[in-house]
Chain A
Amino acid sequence: MRLVRLVVTVGLVCSLWSGQAVQAADASVTPPSLPPIARLIIEPAVITLDGSGSLVTPLITGEVTADQQIDLTSRAKLESLSPTVFTVDTHGRLRGQDDGTGTLRISVAGKQLDVPIVARNMRLPRQFHFDNDILPILSKFSCNMSGCHGKAEGQAGFKLSVFGFDPRADHQALTQESRGRRINPVVPSASLLLTKASGGIPHGGGVRITKSSEEYRTLRDWIVAGMPYGSDETPRVVAVRVTPHERTLAMRDVQQLRVTARYSNGFEADVTHHARYQSNNEAVAKVDEFGLVTGGDVPGDVAIMAAYLGEVDVFRALVPRSELLTAQSSQPVLNLIDGHIDAKLSKLRIESSPLCSDADFVRRVYLDVIGTLPTASEAREFLASQDKDRRLKLVDALFQRPEFADYWALKWSDWLRVDRQALGHDGAYRYYKWIHDSFAKNVGLDQFAKELVAGQGLLADHPAGHFFKVVKDAGEMSSTLSQSLLGIRIDCAKCHHHPFDRWSQDDYYGMQAYFTGVRFKSTSRGEMLLASAGGVSQNPRSGLKIFAHPLGTSNPEAAPTGDPRLAFASWLVAADNPFFARNIVNRAWAHLLGRGIVEPLDDVRLTNPPSHPELLTALSKDFIDHKFDFRHLLKTIIASRTYQLSAAVTPTNTTDEQNFSRAVLRRLDAEVLLDAICQTTNIPEKFDGVPAGSRAIQLWDSQVPHYFLGIFGRPVRSTPCDCERAGTPNVSQVLHVLNSPEIQAKLTHDAGFLAELAQRPGLTDKQLIDELYLTFFSRYPSDPEQTTAEKYLQAQADKRQAAIEDLAWSMLNSLEFVFNH
């Protein structure tokens, strides 16, 4: 184990060097694209090479102003003035050669800087540990991925545990299996491990590790050292940190990352060359295997994951548009939300769209809050209002509507899996009813969640307990609740360490243990949910007892006393719970803005960071401060200027769909769209098994057979994933609204709206057209629209009702109708 001690915290600019910053000697040397550099900053501040295995990648940053720093690492020329003490390789990495002190000369941007280097412990034999030194190589080169030797049956007779979750077995596979033929201790470089990986012998996976590489050298030295597993006392990696953490990156510019691992004994080591890297948005920026990030052509922000031995950290780059904003128009800040959004947009040099019209607002807010179109008279009334608080007063009024609970019960029934096939008719209905009542009564979502996760007794009395019947075992209970209540997918960690997050199997089984005591008992009064004390499970790999404990905490000494779900519930709704409130806020936000602050909304990961972390924190705090009041949360978001932006594009925000610079067009949910068609034509739909007059958003059973709802992407609720509800268009949807007899029947029905309109006495064409536009589009027509429609009616004067139907048909098939905008 070789460690580099960092005496000064990495990431801070060390005064030692700022004093030595040299003024530019010759400005003409500086490339034209590089602004004048005031000083150079070197990280780590003190470079110590400790042991023959240590490699250090210094980061060289040029400070232009206090606010602007530019990565110069890949531009800098590094030179060892003391080659007997240390050398520099082509990737800018320093390696110790012998104990002593030396000097590194850095030349870049017309500046030169000499940095002292200390090398020590170079003559001690390297103390290998399999987990710390060999596994990272197998991970970095994807040897143990599920597509290769990591899959269940191995590859070509050689099997590794996927992502290296079982290092003991991997060590065994390498050194013992196949009679040890993978390793040749006598001639280490003839070991299959090396010859296959480096292409000396044909390898299905191709050449992975070149002979000149650092990793080849490490593997060879480890074989020479006798392939030790290493001592149990060897410090383990407890965290990794990537520097810099955040940077603004110009399009097509580069940024070198530096990754340090912190060990259980407090030491830190440079692991830049061993970490795995991944970008979450390659269009904005990509990353190579050495941790060099390159900006792309699309503005936005990007998270680059650096993973090492199960620990991950993230570098976030903001890549702004190349052109500056010409005029910074100041837009009103309506509440705590807008400042956060504006700050990011201004960094990206994107100008947001203006406020939407009242007509846009009334339609949008009806659809978002109650899943229902405003009627013509509701729209007319709102558009006539002069009240300056009319927008927020409307929101308050909508909360009182019965459709509010209908719509939100539909949403939550997706997430909490109200599934008739699993629960039976009565059970599913009772479970749904509990959700519906909770939203109708505006129960705090903390209380709602507690009832859901910790209820006991007869299901008739505790309908929330049906949740535990939808899911089949303790593992599914915990992973479903994690996804729906915490927004976290922990399933990966059932079998191995989560590859893109910090969750280990202990985390998974710690959550699972909360639910191991759940069972059902038949009684004369129906089924009863019981939860015994317990709270213990077992890590199937280590065999260790795992006591129930929340995600992100360590395995405790004992299980909680009594029903461990009570402890889970208390943790969940505690003010300092890091996930629950944020998840609810994010779901509300995603619903209202068309995209989560974390997106997908139920995939919170260290490596999938929120686009606006401070905003998420501020909204969560506000939500908790208001006793988890869901209506308050919705209203807060709706009150922001951000929610009330127009969908019209500005010259600078056409490519932005991630930063809330304009309203995003969203196709109406299947049920909402069907109800909108029924409401506008005034011909209700009939559904099997529910009372006549029921609207689609009132359907508690997502499996009521219905062609329209099926093709428009109603979910089947087989998972808690929000993605089950598909909003993507397809040609069948289009054909259905264009041609289906069902839609045509609604347009032509004798008792329908259009027949009534055609016969309404004393109605001028203008009034009739206004009524159509208010009904379908919640707005008055523009003059040209009025003229077009009048002309159409006049040309078809002999078939007035048919002409009205045609107008209505074209409205139903318009993007303006099918989308919320």
Chain B
Amino acid sequence: MPGRNYCDRISRRDCLQVGAALLPLGMGMSLSSLLQRQAAAADGGAAKDKDDVALIILFLKGGLSTIDTLDLKPNAPSEFRGEFKPISTNVSGIEVCEHLPLLARQADKFALLRNFAHTDSGHGAADHWMLTGYAPRAGFNPSLKPNNQFPAHGSVIAKKLGPRGSVPPYVCLPRMHNSGGAAYLGASVAPFVVEADPNAPNFAVPDLIPPLSISSDRLGNRQELLATVDRFRKSGESQANQAAKSLSTFQQKAFQLMTSAETRAAFDIAREPDALRDRYGRHSLGQSCLMARRLVEAGVRCVTIDHTNWDTHYDNFNVLKNDLLPHLDTGLTTLLQDLNERSLQRKTLVVVMGEFGRTPRVNKDAGRDHWGPSNCILLSGAGIKGGLVVGATNERGEKPAENPVGPADLSATMFDCLGINAQDEFHTPEGRPVKIAADGRILRELYA
């Protein structure tokens, strides 16, 4: 098909042809299906009946004030309870914040884990703990990108389950959180990062498709040429070098992405009806939630949304009421409804978390500071029982009244929902065995 544009309204058939042309280079679509089969063979058994569950993590970076939203303490002294009032939900006995009125009508779809706590009240370390299940060790440097000492949940999932179809298994948007990396699991399961805000008017995944002027023939030529011109690709010096090796891996993955029609379609948020986009809310959080649903529908196994900034040291109540909570209310509520309407809720686990809760006592700036010891988590779908509250904090919301559970337990539970055995071990490149979910306990009390 000389001269025919490759990228414009491409047919599935064209894609397959490009993929086939690349086969000798090991870059075609067939590679992903091969990987998929290998992964399925490796992890078969118990995992099988659950292996199409996907995970969406809505990470409220900075730290959601759970005492003001999901775990209010109306009877605590005023310096603790804050300004917001609880409202009843569609499940009797469960109350949430008055500024989450839409979410209140979906309480039958989610569970609240109110006895969740950990012990690190610093950004960076707490983020790493929540996003990997592991508290960082000595030498942790939060400003590294990525800073992972342990792999993020998405990388574990990508490693254990492999890609589903031709879309990448693990996607971060609208950026990668610093703790979203693959650590010792390596470049092959690092996230595909969408460095763009799905709410932007011309949103497109940057550089996913070649320029329109490059025909599919020419693209094939170029790729063959690259394989011969790049003398370092298979050389000893690049094999002995981590950075060069991972660049080669990424090049392979890039070609897979480029030749995948599913991937392009999944990222094309403009295909959604305006009415639905409006319901999600025309803001970064809302459109990121919508994008996450599209991606999961297309076969992505884990989407991590990094939404910032929930670090309300100052003017907590106004910032929440006027800015943050309305976005969370439309975005999250519509996501839960939409998954339900598409019968995806059974196959999609949604987890909403910040790195920690916030200090129960309101500070002098009408704000709340960092607080690891109480941090309510919202979970929905994939076998999680709706309309459920597990655990409780004490009367001032300072810490779980009893039976605290922590990040490792949450990790173990998320992996279990996806059919991954949390007790399995990975080996670091040095051969050190590391359990994939610390020593967490599966929180079966959340299950329906």
**A-side interface residues toward B, CB under 8 Å?**
146-148, 151-153, 155, 278, 282-283, 296-298, 499-500, 647-649, 653-655, 657, 662, 664-667, 707, 710-711, 713, 718-719, 721, 723-724, 726-736, 738-741, 744, 748, 785, 788-789, 792, 796, 802, 806-807, 809-811, 813-816, 818-819, 821
The 9 A-B residue pairs with the shortest CB-CB distance, nearest first, are A283-B430, A814-B230, A815-B232, A735-B207, A810-B226, A649-B236, A729-B247, A810-B225, A647-B237
What 1/0 flags go to B236-254 for Cβ under 8 Å of A?
1111111110111011011
The answer to whether B206 touches A809, judged by C-beta atoms less than 8 angstroms apart, is no
B444 within 8 A of A: no
Interface stretch, picked from B51-59, B64-72, B187-195, B315-323, is: B187-195
Judge whether B21 is part of the interface by a CB distance below 8 angstroms. Answer: no
New A-B contacts (10) at CB < 8 Å, excluding given A298-B430, A809-B226, A813-B251: A153-B121, A664-B241, A665-B237, A726-B145, A729-B250, A732-B195, A734-B254, A738-B210, A744-B214, A748-B213
Chain B interface secondary structure, helix, strand, loop or mixed? loop
**How long is the Cα–Cα vector from A152 to B213 in the complex, in angstroms?**
60
User: In angstroms, how far is the closest chain A Cβ from the Cβ of B393?
Assistant: 14
Closest to B232 in A: A815
Q: Which residues of A contact B120 (CB under 8 A)?
A: 146-147, 151
Residues on B facing A (Cβ under 8 Å): 119-121, 135, 138, 141, 143-146, 187, 190, 192-193, 195, 206-211, 213-214, 218, 221-222, 225-226, 228-233, 235-244, 246-248, 250-251, 253-254, 257-258, 373, 429-432
Question: What residues of B have a CB within 8 angstroms of the CB of A655 in the complex?
Answer: 240
Inter-chain CA distance A649–B241, complex, in Å, is 10
Known: A731-B192, A734-B254. A813 touches B226 (CB 8 A): yes
B237:A821 contact, CB within 8 angstroms = yes
> Can you sample 17 A-B contacts with CB below 8 Å?
A155-B119, A297-B431, A649-B240, A664-B241, A665-B238, A667-B247, A723-B141, A727-B243, A728-B243, A739-B211, A744-B213, A792-B225, A813-B230, A814-B230, A814-B232, A816-B231, A819-B244
A806 touches B247 (CB 8 A): no
Beta-carbon contact of A816 and B232 below 8 Å = yes
Q: In the complex, what distance in Å separates the CA atom of A691 from the CA atom of B282?
A: 37
Q: Are B237 and A649 in contact (CB under 8 A)?
A: yes
CB of A815 within 8 A of CB of B144, answer no
CB distance from A543 to the nearest CB of B (A): 25
Cross-chain contact A809 with B222 (CB below 8 angstroms): yes
B141 touches A735 (CB 8 A): no
Inter-chain contact count A-B, CB under 8 Å?
178
> What is the CB-to-nearest-CB distance from B178 to chain A, in angstroms, rounded to a whole number?
10
**Contact of A735 with B222 at beta-carbon distance under 8 Å, contacts A147-B119, A667-B243 already known:** no
CB distance from A359 to the nearest CB of B (A): 12
Find out whether the CB atom of B244 lies under 8 angstroms from the CB atom of A731: no
In the bound complex, CA of A677 to CA of B218 (Å): 21
Bound CA span A718–B144, Å: 12
A284: nearest residue on chain B (CB-CB)?
B430
On whether the beta carbons of A741 and B211 are closer than 8 Å, the reply is yes
Are A721 and B237 in contact, with the CB atoms below 8 A?
Answer: no
Residues in B neighbouring A723, C-beta threshold 8 A: 141, 143-144
Query: Given the complex, which residues of B lie within 8 Å of A815, measured CB to CB?
Result: 230, 232-233, 238, 244, 247-248
Q: How far is the CB of B407 from chain A (nearest CB, A)?
A: 12
A416 CB → nearest B CB, Å: 16
In angstroms, Cα B244 to Cα A577, docked, is 38
Say whether B193 contacts A732, CB under 8 Å: yes
Q: Which residues of B contact A736 (CB under 8 A)?
A: 206-207
In the complex the two chains form, is A806's CB within 8 Å of B225's CB? Answer: yes
With beta carbons under 8 angstroms apart, the residue of B206, B225, B232, B241 that contacts A732 is: B206
Q: Which residue of A lies closest to B248 (CB)?
A: A815
The distance from the CB of A441 to the nearest CB of chain B, in whole angstroms, is: 32
Q: Are B206 and A735 in contact (CB under 8 A)?
A: yes
Could you tell me the distance between the alpha carbons of A779 and B214 in the complex, rounded to whole angstroms? 29
Q: Specify which chain B residues have a CB less than 8 angstroms from the CB of A796 in the assembled complex.
A: 221
Would you call A807 and B229 a contact (CB within 8 A)?
yes
Minimal beta-carbon separation of A496 from chain B (angstroms): 14
Q: Known contacts being A282-B430, A732-B195, is A806 close to B222, with CB within 8 Å?
A: yes
Residues of A within 8 A of B206 (CB): 707, 732, 735-736, 740
Residue among B187, B209, B211 with max Cβ neighbours from chain A (10 Å): B211
Interfacial chain A residues near B240, Cβ < 8 Å: 649, 653-655, 657, 662
**Interchain CA distance A352-B253 in the complex, whole Å:** 34
Contact across chains for B144 and A499 when beta carbons are under 8 A apart: no
Distance in angstroms from A293 CB to nearest chain B CB is 16
Is B210 a contact of A721 with CB atoms below 8 Å? no
List residues of chain A with CB within 8 A of the CB of B209: 739
Which residue of B213, B236, B373 is within 8 Å of A648 (Cβ)? Answer: B236
**Contact residues in A for B236 (Cβ distance below 8 Å):** 648-649, 654
Q: Please give the distance in Å from A564's CB to the nearest CB on chain B.
A: 30
Once A283-B430, A740-B206 are accepted as A-B contacts, the answer to whether A735 and B237 lie under 8 Å apart by CB is no
User: How far is it, in angstroms, between the C-alpha of A283 and the C-alpha of B258 when the chains are bound?
Assistant: 38
Give which listed residue, A731, A807, A813, contacts B193 with CB less than 8 A: A731
CA gap between A814 and B244 in the complex, in Å = 10
Residue of A nearest to B227 (CB): A810
- Asked whether, in the complex, the Cβ of A739 is within 8 Å of the Cβ of B373, the reply is no
